[in-house]
Each structure stands twice: as structure tokens, then as C-alpha cells.
Amino acid sequence: MSTDDASAPSDTHAGASRVPAHIAIIMDGNGRWAKARGLPRAAGHERGVEALRRTVEAAGEIGVRYLTVYSFSTENWRRPAAEVNALFGLLRTFIKKDLGRLKKEGVKINVIGRREGLPDDIAMLVEKAERETASNSDFVLNIAFNYGGREEIARAARALSADVASGAVLPSDVTEEVLASYLDTADMPDPDLLVRTSGEYRLSNFLLWQAAYSELVFFDVLWPDFDRAWLEKAVAIYSDRERRFGAVSTGDA
């Protein structure tokens, strides 16, 4: 398999186990975590940020290069305004509090999703976080905020059609690679491993294009309780899976 194959494995070998180069996480279950404790849903989201901090640190330490986390979907606008505001507030606080540290630690921050429709101050904070960490390359933290897989693909198709209309791209040149280069994840490997917490078994519009060959792992744990041990468990499960990318098993060829 050539290395420029779109679905070629990108993981690395650390010791005996395979470490995924790119892990994507659907951080779900904050509301149920709070409800179980008689707390408001916002308290669950706050504890969810703590779990995110632990996970970023652990992922870097185990040798993961890209971590993409789903923190607000294009469908989450359907929630009560107070909850939407609380989630926006948490992104603000996270960038304000953690940017300096993440920058020093070599983390490159990237926010994927639709920028239009976000409050101006959030759009500015996001740009600042991206600008100030642009030269980092040790670890990429992709925050999917106001993100929806279908919206991302439609936006990419719109930009690509504009380039076709202007003559910059020929219709016959539109390949998978070209379309992928218009997505928010252009130049990044596809996620090797996609984890969802909270016992729900669906993608909820996350990375629809990029997850074509991701290994899926579902855990019952609620996101605020997620920690390094859960991340290691996901990596161990991943490392026991055989990724075939449509081919036959090694040894059966």
C-alpha cells in the first residue's frame, strides 16, 4: 500500500502496542452526569472541561499526534438558550485560561466547524488561539465547535464549486483528495480511532467523511468521568483490531 493512499494507516508503533496518530472523541454524557448528582446540566459541562484537560495531557504523553474533540454540534443549537450560552462560555474560559499553557506545551489549536453564526468575541478568541499556536507542531488539538459533518461537506462543496465556476479547478479534476482538501481537516490524517462515551451508539453528524475507516469504540462511561485509564483502554482495544481497509487479512492473500 503506498503511503499517499487516502486510507493508509497513519498510526505509530510504541512498544508492543499501536498508538493511533489521530483520535477523535464524542464527549457525551455531561447532562446525565449532572442529573445523577442533582446538579444543573451546566455543572456537568464544567466537569467535562476537566476531563478534556486530562485527556489532552494523556493523549500527548502516549504519543498521539492529533486529538479531535466534539464540543458543540450544529444540532446543539436546539438546546435551551441558557445551555447554549453556558457551552459558549466554557469555550471562552477554556481559551482564556488554557491558551498560554497549551502554547508552551507545543499544542497547536485548530477549531473546526462553521464560523458564521458564532458570537464575534468567540470568533476572535478562536482566531487568536489558532494564530498564537500556529507554529506548534508537537500535538494538534482540533476543537469541533459549531461543527456538523454535513455542514462541513456542504461548505467544502460550495467553495469547490466556486473554484470550478471560476475555472481554477476543472470538473474532471475533482477527486476524493481534492474534495478533502476543502474540508476543515485538510492536511490532517483521518482519525484512526473514534471514541464515544455515554453509551450512545451513533455518530451524531461527527466527521462523516473522515471517519470512513476509523475504528469505533463505545464506552458507557459519562464524559466527566473520562480519564487517562479510559483513553488507554480505548488505545488497547484499537491496537487489537485488524484494519483491513477493504483488503483481505494479512496471510490470507
Give the residue numbers marked as catalytic. Answer: 28, 76
Question: What value, to the nearest 5°, has the Cα angle with vertex 226 and ends 222 and 232?
Answer: 130
DSSP H stretches of helix in 139-212: 149-165, 176-180
Give the position of cell 452526569: 33
- Should residue 98 be labelled a site residue for Mg ion when binding is judged by CB under 5 A? no
Choose the one of Mg ion, ligand IPE, none that binds residue 26, judging by a C-beta under 5 to 8 angstroms depending on kind. Answer: ligand IPE
20/29 with CB nearer ligand IPE: 29
State in angstroms the smallest separation of the CB of 29 from ligand IPE.
4
CA-CA distance, 20 to 139, in Å (whole number)? 13
State in angstroms the smallest separation of the CB of 180 from ligand IPE.
23
127/200 with CB nearer ligand IPE: 200
- Side-chain-facing half-sphere of 162: CA atoms under 13 Å: 6
Helices and strands: H and E segment counts in the chain: 7, 8
CB 173 within 8 A of CB 145: no
State in angstroms the smallest separation of the CB of 96 from ligand IPE.
19
Going by C-alpha positions, the residue among 191, 131, 185 that lies closest to residue 156 is 185
State in angstroms the smallest separation of the CB of 82 from Mg ion.
17
Give me 213's grid cell.
475507516
Question: What value, to the nearest 5°, has the Cα angle with vertex 27 and ends 25 and 33?
Answer: 150
200/232 with CB nearer ligand IPE: 200
182/230 with CB nearer Mg ion: 230
State in angstroms the smallest separation of the CB of 249 from ligand IPE.
34
Stretch that binds Mg ion, among 25-33, 69-77, 105-113, 153-161 (CB under 5 A): 25-33
Choose the one of ligand IPE, Mg ion, none that binds residue 27, judging by a C-beta under 5 to 8 angstroms depending on kind. Answer: ligand IPE
CB 18 within 8 A of CB 193: no
The radius of gyration of the chain from alpha carbons, rounded to an integer in Å, stands at 19
Residues binding ligand IPE (CB under 6 A): 26-32, 70-73, 76, 87, 198, 200, 202, 204, 223
Among residues 11, 28, 98, 215, which is the contact residue for Mg ion, using CB under 5 A? 28
Choose the one of ligand IPE, Mg ion, none that binds residue 204, judging by a C-beta under 5 to 8 angstroms depending on kind. Answer: ligand IPE
CB 45 within 8 A of CB 88: no
Binding site for Mg ion (CB under 5 A): 28
